[in-house]
Structure 1
């Protein structure tokens, strides 16, 4: 059908220009297919480029590889019979295809969502993100003199690997062909800060500077000493409150387990610097709970103490996510690490978007949420 010619032309041009990111199919015609999405990416198999289709069924994934001409036929069939929408993501623009019930095809073009391509390696071997022979691991007493993980630090080692895996996936939205300034607010003893620096600089070979902000001077001194002994020349730690840190150049802002409103102070610094990426693992969530203490709540969810605590944690982080969206960030919330180690395992991420958000509609959502729980204000709102 000629209706899809615009999509196919854009797809072929994106592959030719080396700026194809991926293509997704969504809005299935019927739930009975048990196929909510199909994802298409470029892979290289035996030195030949193929388009790999991942059929994301409700119970499992299936993958099939096609050359471009075969892929066009498969896409046409899927859009005519199983899906109502497709989005082609390139480094220049996003092309959205909509198919009506009467098979009428329409197009929308939007600003590009991605700033980096996906890897084209098929059956990619598991990447080493932490090198056990790294000196900082010994100095932090994660490994012994034989470069073996000390048993009591095994959980910390797994956490570091999971953290780097998450960071790697998030960097898809960040231009990595320039120098990146990363600020880790509330860096503590620096386990994750050192690992991040080593991974980005020594393994990925990115041009990166990392600054750790930590209030406790003894930890700052310890971390700067370890950085020097590890020859991490572009890593430094500063003894300072998050509120006092003043640097308008922050490409990636990280705040893991910054207590209560310190998370909001960190998010504000990221927003003020127009950061490409804001990564938080919120902790404590006292501000709103204290604000509504003694206020009668209608919701039965708030009758019991433990549920009340968790509910206001979710409300606090939801408002944070909405404020990020209002400031043109795409947001997502997910589990950072297994909750068998800590219940404070939620990660909130905002990646800078070129698409303008509906600020008025987001404001209304925030207002409705505050009214429903009789909340006067969220601390992050007062900073903005």
Structure 2
């Protein structure tokens, strides 16, 4: 059984005035070729399929194109909800997509409902079980836990971690029961894996990742996951093993979602399973469909840096450029000076930053942020984080905000 593990596509992302539509279309076209070339049985997307709860129509169209194309290839698709995804948006077509060999797990429900059997590849309608998945999506605190009056922050953190661990254990128990049943029926062991969309202890994050459990849960302990053959994680955009463990992995986002990810090597993971468990994990590098380049320096050094960045762009597809000006950041005409340096080169400057030489700028990356970097949801989350609210109220306000944005977007359409 071979699974292609990917996550954090963020379809519909609006990036500093730029659409990622062309990149995501190229990604899907590339992925469909890889699925055939590497004999993939099933594709697993571990959350954050969409960038917002109310994705634009072209993002939904790309989503549908992926589902239909994989179905035509006889490849199963498992989609997990992430913290960026709307439960309602993912759930609205769940029954329809099930007919197309696609399973959508948008939100937490009864643990037994999160046990999914992924079949081996086949266009003849056969569904030979390839592996069992404890398909756990993003867990919102209100789904598994209620805070108690008088609890300290540490108590809340520990009780929430315990609740998430207990939920995983419930899904794992249901998975083990099905595994035993299939072994008796098939006469062979069917591998058991799990998923998650969260931050774990030992994972290395970056600026483009929004913290999930701010004030409640810093990271989920790796040891708290149940014993399975492989754990397919999403949320962290940098591909990595967790705690050096080969069977617990973030695949990372397939395209860079911010300039802080511009130098990362993006990949998807080919996960091979057999009756003994995990047979191997093979990273498959993803081509760069749009050049993102971040350069920095004073005005004397920037021309050479920009010339080097220009080598990554073409006249038809200029490189998107972030320029951070050091030392000369006090000058008022920096945009005009940068524009002169880029004149005639295949680059497009999306952002000019001034690197303030102050302790505040050194300590807090927010000092370099502009509104161009933040979505409306990010701004709302930042404002909400300044209030002392219970986790339940915080989640309720987040859901209300998502509902309002969706109603406005759908009304405008």
TM-score by length of 1: 0.29
Q: Which has the higher strand share?
A: 1
TM-score by structure 2 length? 0.28
Q: Name which structure has the greater RCO, CA cutoff 8 Å, separation 6+.
A: 2
